[in-house]
Amino acid sequence: MNKKILPFVLMVVLSAMMTTPFTALASIDPPQKSAAEIATMCPYSAVVASTPDTAMYNDTEPGANDPQVKQGFDAYRAASFQDAYNKWLPLAVAGNATAQYYLSSFFVGEDADDQATQCAIQWLQAAAAHKHVGANAGLGRLLGIGDHDFIDLPQAKSALLFAAERCHLDAQFQLGSLYGRIPAPHRDFVEAHKWLMVASTRGLEEAEDTNKILRRFTSVAELREGNRRHKEWLKNNPCK
């Protein structure tokens, strides 16, 4: 079995035995900070990750049209990480959502401790508040899964839904997975199938693999309704 899919199966089985209300499992303390406070809390010395090979630049996001943000991105892709950080930080403090989003990427990774995870969450929250689609997707993913103490399923669902409705492919996959594994009674296999099929139809193989597993836990009626909703959504929301 695909190692990426195994955690999903385990979560579905375990969540079937859970009665935890669908509320935050842990709160971020404080739940939000100003950009200046985040900058103080998250110095470059706290950076744990940098993945320039996978970085993408979306010039349709809020703040992405600032040439200084693009200069920071070019430095990041050239592996000049501190230069990129130094270019983005004042822009992020001034409220540039794309700079805030890119700063968050420095604090996400296997080696992230609680401080780094909170830094990532805080920068993502700041960017998401400006309706940055990628930041909402990243925030939802970080708050919905992971080996840390800041899981917040309601906020994860809200962020992922915002991004999924705006055609963010990974958010559609993550949202479908989340609907399938959140604790009862809030689990929704219909919506899980809908979003997994949307992502699968748009070419994400992992979504199709996950949806095949999910079918083992759902009724024919739920699968049929999920398929109807997925077709209706794609008809009304043609993603490029």
Q: Are residues 169 and 114 in the same domain?
A: no
Could you report the per-residue pLDDT of 35-93, keeping only the tens digit for each?
999 999 999 999 987 776 667 899 999 999 999 999 999 999 999 999 999 999 999 99
Structural domain span for residue 200: 1-16+135-240
- This prediction's pTM: 0.87
- Domain's final residue, options 96, 131, 166: 131
Structure tokens at 184: 């009862």
Cβ count near 207 (within 10 Å): 24
Separation CA 52–CA 83 (nearest Å): 13
Structure confidence at residue 53 (pLDDT) = 63
Q: Are residues 109 and 177 in the same domain?
A: no
**Mean pLDDT, the chain, whole residue set:** 87
What is the rounded average pLDDT of the residues 171-179?
A: 97
Number of compact structural domains in the chain: 2
223 in any annotated domain: yes
Could you report the per-residue pLDDT of 133-169, keeping only the tens digit for each?
999 999 999 999 877 888 999 999 999 999 999 999 9
Q: Are residues 47 and 62 in the same domain?
A: yes
- Domain's final residue, options 131, 155, 189: 131
Q: Are residues 235 and 139 in the same domain?
A: yes
213 in any annotated domain: yes
Q: Are residues 43 and 122 in the same domain?
A: yes
Structure confidence at residue 52 (pLDDT) = 67
What is the rounded average pLDDT of the residues 191-206?
A: 97
List Cα–Cα distances, 125 to 87, 98, 144, 173, 183, in angstroms: 20, 12, 14, 20, 24
Q: Are residues 104 and 167 in the same domain?
A: no
Q: Are residues 65 and 162 in the same domain?
A: no
Q: What is the largest CA-CA distance in the chain?
A: 55
Separation CA 143–CA 192 (nearest Å): 18
- Domain's final residue, options 131, 159, 191: 131
Burial class (CB in 10 A: 0-12, 13-18, 19+), 22: middle
Could you report the per-residue pLDDT of 8-27, keeping only the tens digit for each?
544 444 344 333 344 443 33
Tell which residue, 229, 181, 182, has the closest CA to residue 201: 229
